[in-house]
Chain A
Amino acid sequence: MSPSSDIQIDPRGYRFGALVTFVIVLAALVVGANAVGFVLMAVLTAMFVPGATVGPQATVQSWLFRTLVRPRIGAPSETESFRPPRFAQQMGLVMAAAGLLLGLAGAEAGFYVFAALVAIASFLNGVFNFCAGCELYLLFKRATTKAA
């Protein structure tokens, strides 16, 4: 938790990005497990990569927000750490990639399940500002770290 290496982001930009994610994954779910749906999931997976590696400030979604949305709504009144959103983007990347690979392998149910998980997380994040990664992180640590 060293604040020196922290980057502060505009939380509204991240919520906007979650809504962009939601629209794409919703389109993939409606189109279904076919070539068009797989292309949409591939695009979504690729869009998660910069957010999962550098952070949410590096995504296409955040560029859209900076150039199209923020000039109309002004500067943020508060900022947040980039770490929770980056963790969320990592979870999104894993789930979107899993859905894509399962779909390509012919496991349609896997495609729908993982796409639905991405849809639920991005919907709750965008609409209610709910951070699923924040709730899961400690459970994840507890499950993966052995007692000393």
Chain B
Amino acid sequence: MDALIRLAAVVVVLAASAMAYLWWSRRQGRVQHVHVPGALTPDDLGAPRGLRATFVQFSTPICAKCPPTRALLLRVAQEYTHVSHIEIDASERLDLARRLDIMRTPTTLVLDANGVVVSRMNGAPSEAQVREALDELPPPGEYSI
């Protein structure tokens, strides 16, 4: 009898966990518009930025979805001109992670031509979400040389 009550309690707890998980997983990769004062310089990032846009992907070594997200961002970035991808180990750059409120990985920031953060995707984004974030940014201006 006690065993049945415990089994019922476990079923309830697992059902609640599954619902919480499904609610949470639907929010993965949503493009959120954010205002972050100041710009991220190549010095901050440890790499040059793209002339049109830059994906700054925060990863850690303990992150199953980080390598596939890296592959997706690199593939999309290569289709556009002047879009670059920088991957940063958040567990080694805790200063940046704290400054930019990176709580989980992968988190991808989208920078405009000036290095200002315009949007972020928390969790692994879909290809459509990556394109959505990028298409909001204008192509770089004309230049003659």
| Contact between chains at B60 and A137 (CB < 8 Å) | yes
A135 vs B95: C-alpha distance when bound (angstroms)? 19
Given A30-B7, A141-B94, verify A134-B59 contact (CB < 8 Å).
no
Is A101 an interface residue, CB under 8 A from the partner? no
| Contact between chains at A137 and B91 (CB < 8 Å) | yes
Is B35 an interface residue, CB under 8 A from the partner? no
| Contact between chains at B60 and A141 (CB < 8 Å) | yes
Tally inter-chain residue pairs, CB-CB below 8 A. Answer: 88
Is B14 an interface residue, CB under 8 A from the partner? yes
Residues in chain B near residue A133, CB distance under 8 A: 62
What's the tally of chain A residues with a CB closer than 8 Å to chain B?
32
What's the tally of chain B residues with a CB closer than 8 Å to chain A?
30
| Contact between chains at A120 and B63 (CB < 8 Å) | no
Residues in chain A near residue B59, CB distance under 8 A: 1
Give the secondary structure class of A's interface.
Answer: helix
| Contact between chains at A138 and B60 (CB < 8 Å) | yes
Residues in chain A near residue B6, CB distance under 8 A: 29-30, 32
Is A81 an interface residue, CB under 8 A from the partner? yes
Residues in chain A near residue B18, CB distance under 8 A: 123-124, 127-128
A81 vs B6: C-alpha distance when bound (angstroms)? 36
| Contact between chains at A142 and B17 (CB < 8 Å) | no
Could you name 5 residue pairs across A and B whose Cβ atoms are closer than 8 Å?
A: A30-B10, A81-B67, A133-B62, A134-B62, A138-B103
Leading 4 A-B pairs by shortest Cβ distance: A137-B62, A87-B62, A84-B64, A141-B91
Interface residues of B (CB under 8 A from A): 2-3, 6-7, 10, 13-14, 17-18, 21, 25, 59-65, 67, 89-91, 94-95, 97-98, 102-105
